C-alpha cells in the first residue's frame, strides 16, 4: 500500500487536490494527534476542576484548558469539510473551512481572555485572599496546594509534548488552524507553570500571587486571541498568501512570477496568489514578448509549470494582457 493510501484504497484529498505521500502521511498523523489532544485535554479539564478550590489562577487555568479543546475540534471539522469536492454552489471548493475554523478559535480565545482579565484584575483591586485548606487522602492530611501543583504538572506535560509534535505538521500541511493549536498548547504549558508559581506564592503568604498570575495568564490568552483573529480575518479578506505562521509572504508568491518570466514567450508577469485554506489560487497576468501571441498549448504549458511548483498550487488562471495591472506590486 502506498504512503498516500488509506485502508480500503482511498487517498487523502483537499477538494480535488490529491496530497503527495509526505503531506498525506502528515495529515493522518495530525488527525491522530488532534484526537489524542481532545482526550488528554478533556482529562486535564476534569483534573483541574476537581482540584481548583478557590484559587483564581486555577480557575483561569481551567478555562484555558477548556478553550484548548476548540482548536483541535476546529481542525478536525475543517479537514472534513475541506475534503469535499467543488459543486455548483461552491465552485472554489470548501477550502475556506480552514479559515472559518481559525476565526472561530480566535474569537473564542479573545472573548474569554478579556472576561478572565477583567475578573482577575477585580480580584487584585478587591485584595482577595484565596484560602487553600487541607485535604485528607489515603489516611494522610496535607496542604491542598500540593494537589493543585500536581494537577498543573499533569496538564503541562501533555501540551508541551503535543505542541512540539504539531508544529512541523502545520508547516508541512500549510495549516493555520493546526499552527494556532500548537501555539495554544504552548500557552497551556506556560499557564501550568505560572499557576504553580501562583499557588506556591499563596503558600508562602503572597496573597496577590494568585490573582496576579491569573491576570498574566488572561493577558496571554488575549494576546493569542487577538493575533489569531487578525491573521484569520486578513486571510478571509484575501490578503496575499503568507506562510503557515503568518510571519512573511509565502515564497510561492515570488516563485510564480519567476517561473512565468522564465518562459521564452513571456516578457513580464504579475500574479495574485490567494490562500484558500490549505491550497492557493493563482491569477497570473503575463505580458507576451513583442509581436508574440501565445498559443493555447503555450498557455496550458504555463499552467502546468505553475502546478509543478508545489502541491499547494491548486486553481491556476494564466491571462495574457497588453499591460500588467498596476494594482499588483512587483514580487519581493
127-164 pLDDT tens trace:
766 666 666 666 666 666 788 888 889 988 998 999 99
Q: What pLDDT shows up at residue 130?
A: 66
Task: Round to whole Å and give the CA distance between 87 and 16.
Answer: 11
pTM of the model: 0.82
User: What sign does the CA torsion over 251, 93, 183, 168 have?
Assistant: negative
pLDDT for residue 116: 75
Residue 73 near residue 102, CB atoms below 8 Å: no
Q: Closest Cα to residue 315, out of 23, 43, 14?
A: 14
Q: Which domains does the chain have, with CATH numbers?
A: 13-236 (1.20.1510.10), 252-320 (3.30.70.1350)
**In sequence order, which ranges of 68-206 are alpha helices (DSSP H)?**
70-82, 97-125, 145-173, 176-203
User: How confident is the model at residue 327, as a pLDDT?
Assistant: 77
The DSSP letter of residue 89 is: S
| Interacting residues of 264 by C-beta distance below 8 A, sequence separation 6+ | 289
Rounded alpha-carbon distances, angstroms, from residue 96 to 170, 229, 252: 16, 15, 19
Residue with cell 500548537: 182
Q: How far apart, in Å, do the first and last CA atoms of the chain sit?
A: 42
Cα–Cα distance list, 19 to 6, 27, 170, 266, 273 (Å): 12, 9, 15, 30, 20
Instruction: Please report the pLDDT score of residue 304 as a whole number.
Output: 94
- The tally of CA atoms less than 13 A away on the side-chain side of residue 97 is 20
184 grid coordinates:
495554544
Partners of 134 in beta bridges: 143
pLDDT in tens, 263-320: 999 999 999 999 888 889 999 999 998 878 899 999 999 999 999 999 999 889 999 9
What pLDDT, on a 0 to 100 scale, did the predictor assign at position 85? 84
Spatial separation of the C-alpha atoms in residues 315 and 307, rounded to whole Å = 9
Please tell me the predicted confidence (pLDDT) of residue 295: 93
| Beta bridge mates, 318 | 284
Look at residue 5 in the predicted model and tell me its pLDDT.
40
Q: Which residue has the cell 472576561?
A: 115
pLDDT attached to residue 254 = 92
Q: State which residues of the chain have pLDDT below 70.
A: 1-11, 15, 128-144, 207, 331-332
DSSP state of 240: B
Category of 229 on φ-ψ map: left (φ > 0), alpha (ψ -120 to 50) or beta: alpha
Amino acid at each position: 500500500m502506498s504512503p498516500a493510501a488509506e485502508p480500503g484504497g482511498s487517498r487523502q484529498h483537499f477538494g480535488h487536490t490529491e496530497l503527495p505521500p509526505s503531506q498525506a502521511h502528515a495529515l493522518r498523523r495530525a488527525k491522530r494527534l488532534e484526537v489524542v489532544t481532545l482526550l488528554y485535554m478533556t482529562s486535564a479539564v476534569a483534573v483541574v476542576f476537581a482540584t481548583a478550590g478557590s484559587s483564581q489562577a486555577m480557575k483561569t487555568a481551567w478555562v484555558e484548558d477548556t478553550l484548548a479543546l476548540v482548536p483541535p475540534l476546529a481542525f478536525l471539522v475543517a479537514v472534513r469539510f475541506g475534503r469535499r469536492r467543488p459543486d455548483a454552489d461552491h465552485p472554489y471548493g470548501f477550502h475556506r473551512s480552514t479559515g472559518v475554523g481559525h476565526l472561530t478559535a480566535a474569537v473564542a480565545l479573545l472573548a474569554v481572555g478579556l472576561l478572565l482579565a477583567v475578573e482577575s484584575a477585580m480580584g487584585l483591586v478587591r485584595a482577595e485572599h484565596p484560602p487553600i485548606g487541607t485535604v485528607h487522602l489515603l489516611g494522610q492530611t496535607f496542604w491542598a496546594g500540593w494537589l493543585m501543583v500536581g494537577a498543573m504538572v499533569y496538564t503541562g506535560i501533555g501540551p508541551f509534548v503535543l505542541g512540539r509534535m504539531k508544529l512541523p505538521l502545520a508547516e508541512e500541511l500549510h495549516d493555520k488552524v493546526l499552527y494556532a493549536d500548537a501555539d495554544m498548547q504552548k500557552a497551556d504549558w506556560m499557564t501550568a507553570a505560572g499557576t504553580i508559581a501562583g499557588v506556591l506564592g499563596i503558600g508562602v503568604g503572597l496573597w496577590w500571587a494568585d490573582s496576579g498570575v491569573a491576570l498574566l495568564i488572561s493577558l496571554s490568552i488575549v494576546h493569542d486571541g487577538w493575533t489569531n483573529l487578525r491573521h484569520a480575518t486578513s486571510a478571509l479578506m484575501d490578503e496575499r498568501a503568507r506562510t503557515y505562521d503568518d510571519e512573511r509572504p509565502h515564497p510561492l508568491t515570488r516563485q510564480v512570477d519567476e517561473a512565468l518570466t522564465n518562459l521564452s514567450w513571456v516578457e513580464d508577469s504579475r500574479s495574485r496568489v490567494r490562500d484558500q485554506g490549505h491550497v492557493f489560487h493563482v491569477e497570473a497576468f503575463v505580458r507576451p514578448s513583442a509581436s508574440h501571441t501565445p498559443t493555447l498549448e503555450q498557455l496550458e504549458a504555463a499552467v502546468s509549470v505553475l502546478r509543478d511548483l508545489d502541491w499547494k498550487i491548486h486553481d491556476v488562471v494564466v491571462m495574457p494582457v497588453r499591460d500588467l495591472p498596476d494594482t499588483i506590486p512587483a514580487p519581493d
